[in-house]
Amino acid sequence: MDTLEPTDRSTVRRNRKRAVTDRAVLHALLADALLVHVGVASPHGPLVLPSAFGVDLDGPDDGGSLYLHGSVASPWLRAAGQPVCVTVTELDGLVAGRSGFHHSMNYRSAVVLGTARDVTDVGERDRALDAIVDQMIPGRSATLRPSTRKELAATAVLAVPLREASVKVRSGGPNDEPEDVAAGIWGGHVPVRRVLGDPVPDSDAHGDVPAEVRALVQASVQAR
Amino acid sequence: MDTLEPTDRSTVRRNRKRAVTDRAVLHALLADALLVHVGVASPHGPLVLPSAFGVDLDGPDDGGSLYLHGSVASPWLRAAGQPVCVTVTELDGLVAGRSGFHHSMNYRSAVVLGTARDVTDVGERDRALDAIVDQMIPGRSATLRPSTRKELAATAVLAVPLREASVKVRSGGPNDEPEDVAAGIWGGHVPVRRVLGDPVPDSDAHGDVPAEVRALVQASVQAR
């Protein structure tokens, strides 16, 4: 099994039974997620920003590449050479225990630690930006015109290696105290999932909803 | 209007038109969210961890209190006196622009910056832990037995003031280039929402699903 390589800093210290070292779980989580939370250092302390992202498991970084992008004017995208933390979390359920202490959430999360790298190679930048679009809507990038020189000049792209990651998974019901279970109190969990609604065309949109957008929404409806 | 007070470090530098300084928007976002991402400094760089949370707008911190909890053995909960960043993000839609550059997401996010405070007062700890349970399932804490001394001793509670926050909101369709719109290409957005499934009782659960759990799921079904 191709496992992750947690180092001292990324080793899961709490809830070791929830730590999963199967790289396939990380890849499946990244495939499901639509956004990440990026931690960067600032002179005033850590900053955590939500961001779109893309993945290229064959990217040049050790373990594959996770890509972030944004305006070249964004201070947080000047993190090249700095340690960053990219966390992805999918909430799968609410765990209604028989005590406050045993309330919990079902989730899959990955905490990726690495040094950010500026992506400057023209080909890699193109692939990274396509990956970010396709993370939202699979197959979308192939339907779009190429980026203009002006658009590319306005866009910063960072890569983070996927080598060092801590993955945690919780599922199922509460782990209640035996005496609370014996007391006959109800306990269980409530599944949580993400659903896509019908596409909303722009007021100036022409023609049918594109196939890749229809397919994405249809897959979400079937998953209900 | 009661506005937030962005300081230099929390002022939204990019996309100012997406910055919202209405405190009511922050409060509504916090009411909708089920988890936050907490940024803490570590010797190796920033760490970002997903966490449950609770809110007490009448809490003792300036602007009200956001509460985090966890095991006393969790290193990240030893952040009292340190600057922390608590970010909450609700994803509302995928924006399918007519170019890669104009793909985006609809979301509401708040980046809360503050100094973490250990919550040691017995009454405040009780209220904080109840708020965290009720954030998941409103009304749930009142149905549960009190925490035991052992449970309380194993639990660390941190408070973060809600005074300093940057709130951003994006909604609607893409802001495409006029030439792409004129070319007759389709553009629009896809709504995203969170849906709760039917409660799953434990194998050893007795009796009906509690009213507050039923009400939460019912509200989600109606919102579909």
What is residue B6's predicted lDDT score, i.e. its pLDDT?
57
Interface touch B105/A140, C-beta < 8 Å: no
Amino acid identity for residue A109 in this structure: S
Distances (CA, A) of B87 to A87, A136, B80, B180: 12, 21, 18, 35
Start-end of H helices in B110-161:
122-136, 149-153
Taking only the tens place, the pLDDT of each residue in B9-24 is 665 555 556 666 689 9
Taking only the tens place, the pLDDT of each residue in B115-139 is 999 999 999 999 999 999 999 999 9
Task: From B105, B96, B173, B102, select the one nearest A140 (Cα to Cα).
Answer: B96
| Average pLDDT of the residues in B160-166 | 95
Structural domains of chain B in order of their starting residue, each with its CATH number? 16-190 (2.30.110.10), 194-224 (no CATH)
Choice between A17 and A35, residue whose per-residue pLDDT is larger: A35
Q: Which of A92, A190, A193 to mutate to test the interface with B (most CBs of B within 10 A)?
A: A190
Query: Number of residue pairs across A and B with CB atoms under 8 Å?
Result: 306
Chain B's closest residue to A45, CA to CA, is: B83
Interface touch B193/A195, C-beta < 8 Å: yes
The arrangement of strands across the sheet holding A117-118 comes to A54-56, A65-71, A155-161, A117-118
Q: Give how far B59 is from chain A: nearest CA, Å.
A: 20
Taking only the tens place, the pLDDT of each residue in B92-101 is 999 999 999 9
Measure CB to CB from residue B137 to each of A96, A130, A193 and give the nearest one.
A96
Amino acid identity for residue B61 in this structure: D
Start-end of H helices in A84-183:
122-136, 149-153, 178-182
Choice between B1 and B57, residue whose per-residue pLDDT is larger: B57
| Average pLDDT of the residues in A93-101 | 97
Choice between A8 and B206, residue whose per-residue pLDDT is larger: B206
| Average pLDDT of the residues in A18-43 | 91
Name the 3-class secondary structure at A176.
Answer: coil
Name the 3-class secondary structure at A27.
Answer: helix
What is residue A165's predicted lDDT score, i.e. its pLDDT?
94
Sign of the alpha-carbon torsion through A114, A115, A118, A119: negative
Name the 3-class secondary structure at B178.
Answer: helix
Chain A's closest residue to B14, CA to CA, is: A74
Residues in chain B: 224
What the block records as the tokens of B166 is 């940057």
Lowest mean pLDDT segment, chosen from A6-10, B100-104, B111-115: A6-10
Q: How far is CA A211 from the centre of its chain?
A: 24
Chain B's closest residue to A209, CA to CA, is: B186
Beta bridge partner(s), residue B47? B40
Choice between B182 and B224, residue whose per-residue pLDDT is larger: B182
Task: From B198, B188, B181, B53, select the one nearest B112 (Cα to Cα).
Answer: B53
